Structure 1
Amino acid sequence: MIITPLDPFGVRVDADVDRPGARLDELPVAELRALAREHHLVLLRGFGGFAGALELTEYAAGWGTISMWPFGAVLELVEHENPDDHIFDHSYVPLHWDGMYRPQVPEFQLFHCVSAPGEGQGGRTTFAHTPAVLRDADPGQRELWERVTGIYRRKMEFYDSEAVSPVVTTHPDRGFPVIRYNEPVAPDAEFVNHPDLEFTGLPDDQLAEFHDTLTAALHDPRHLYAHDWQTGDLVVADNYTLLHGREAFTTRSPRHLQRVHVLGEPALDNPALVR
């Protein structure tokens, strides 16, 4: 494997130039899994793509047990004509963690780019390195964040759930501190199907400081990686550690991703799920 670091975190694995289009299943998943746990994000580029959702599912099963949804294993992330939720719109998506409303939280997300947006059309997927945010935080800011608990309610086609989590908590397997946070939607944003968010633990007059300082730290270039998609890319992200979101993209652009959730070993029962 040809491995190079990404900035500010993660690694990129490129296909050998002498073997363009080599199959991903020729790479040892155990080594890729170790890279994902160490570096939290792995970009696989230049390899042969997947013929369809079934082929992607078969590959993802090599990473572990797939978290199944009512629609199956693969979520097709593509703009809908009349979306009933923001994930099927072209708007930005705030930073969050996957599985926060589900019975089990996946360890890994596999994102496969079927078709990349055109140049200048936006649509980068964003990833925030939450242990780095906490490491670099001013002690007073971190103490403020540690006092806050988020209460998140969201209703969509696939669930109607409530999750409650401290903003600063611990990695379920490795014990280092991480952030679990769903950014509030910007007040001026056009956004389909707002989640209902509530934050407790601070007086009302300190909540703005909490959100402003945490958002600035999460989006600090030292902590945020924004991925420019190329058709055929496969990105594996550590969902236990990172938060992720999406930049807005030009409506009717050809942006089409596929996403699969892979559970940990053992599977993590969602500690935040209330209902």
Structure 2
Amino acid sequence: MANMIEISEEASCGAGWRDEFRTKLDRCGFVIIEPGDANDVKFDELMSELGDPVVYGFGTKLSLEPQEGSDNLQFTTRGMPLHADSTFNAGPAVKYIGMQCVRAPEVGGETLIASAAAFFANAPADLIDTMQNIVVEYRNRIDGYYKDRSVGDHPRVDPIQVDPESGEKRIVMGFTDPDDPMRTHDAMVVGYSAEESAKLLRRIEAMLHLPSVLYAHKWRVGEIVILDNTRVLHGRGAFPNQARKLIRLSVG
């Protein structure tokens, strides 16, 4: 499948999902388990089938909901750019990210999912070639939340990598708005000027937001979505002046 419209339809798990969700997760890079079906299984138990919980500074399970006065973009009602987890901090590797909806906003707050497979099928050859010949440097801007790298130890990451297990190409990136004072990190293409770097990153990000590549999941209470962190990038749509609560648990 090379189009996100087809991928997102395939990713939805219907009756008998317990037997098919692993197959769909492998095929699509993510799965959507409907509210009624999700009630038949405990979220923690479902994620434990996929791996061991990833331990962060806050523990293993995170409640994602707005917190008044927070200086961390994750805990606001603002949008969050597409990214792969563990791109720019020293935390453990993440294979799967699970989220269950406790409270859903009426408007906005979608989880954005960009498929690497759809990107490679639809992106211009010159853009893919350029990405294969660059390195992106990341600088974490959040202290005391993630496990930070040593001072001056800024990770440099190839944006296109080959998954050692599947042999598939994957995208490992974390986008950011350089003008946003609440951004979680800075990103710069090594060897490029600031202007050149910003232009290229904007072009890649725009390609990832095409309807053929990006799916915006509108949440319903009780739903579970599981992402393969090696096959999709994820982000969040803004939901100003509304409540939204997801419980997140990642496994390695």
TM range (shorter): 0.7 to 0.9
- Tell me, yes or no, if the aligned pair for 1:149 and 1:167 is still in contact at 8 Å: yes
1:105 equivalent in structure 2: 93
1:170 equivalent in structure 2: 162
What's the secondary structure of 1:159's corresponding residue? coil
- Tell me, yes or no, if the aligned pair for 2:135 and 2:157 is still in contact at 8 Å: yes
Between 206-215 and 160-169, the greater mean CA deviation after superposition? 206-215
- Tell me, yes or no, if the aligned pair for 2:35 and 2:221 is still in contact at 8 Å: no
Change (3 A) 1:79 1:176: same
1:34 equivalent in structure 2: 23
1:76 equivalent in structure 2: 63
Change (3 A) 1:206 1:192: closer
2:103 equivalent in structure 1: 115
1:271 equivalent in structure 2: none
What's the secondary structure of 2:36's corresponding residue? coil
Matched, 1:146 2:132: yes
2:123 equivalent in structure 1: 137
Q: Residues of 2 paired with 1:211 and 1:170: CA distance?
A: 20
TM-score between both structures, scaled by the size of structure 1: 0.79
- Tell me, yes or no, if the aligned pair for 2:171 and 2:230 is still in contact at 8 Å: no
Alpha-carbon offset, residue 150 of structure 1? 1.0
| Greater fraction strand | 1
Q: Residues of 1 paired with 2:178 and 2:79: CA distance?
A: 10
2:7 equivalent in structure 1: 9
Q: Residues of 1 paired with 2:126 and 2:4: CA distance?
A: 30
Q: Residues of 1 paired with 2:184 and 2:58: CA distance?
A: 22
Post-superposition CA distance 1:148-206 (Å, at most 9, x none) = 2111121332322343211111123112211111112163x5x5254122211445564
Provide the identity percentage: 25
Alpha-carbon offset, residue 137 of structure 1? 2.0
Matched, 1:58 2:45: yes
Which of 216, 224, 227 aligns to 1:237? It is 227
Change (3 A) 1:104 1:246: same
Alpha-carbon offset, residue 32 of structure 1? 1.9
Q: Residues of 2 paired with 1:128 and 1:149: CA distance?
A: 20
What's the secondary structure of 2:201's corresponding residue? helix
Matched, 1:90 2:82: no
Which of 147, 172, 179 aligns to 2:171? It is 179
Change (3 A) 1:193 1:209: closer
Alpha-carbon offset, residue 14 of structure 1? 2.9
- Tell me, yes or no, if the aligned pair for 2:188 and 2:194 is still in contact at 8 Å: no
* Number of aligned residue pairs: 240
What's the secondary structure of 2:247's corresponding residue? strand
Q: Root-mean-square deviation (CA), in Å?
A: 2.4
TM-score between both structures, scaled by the size of structure 2: 0.85
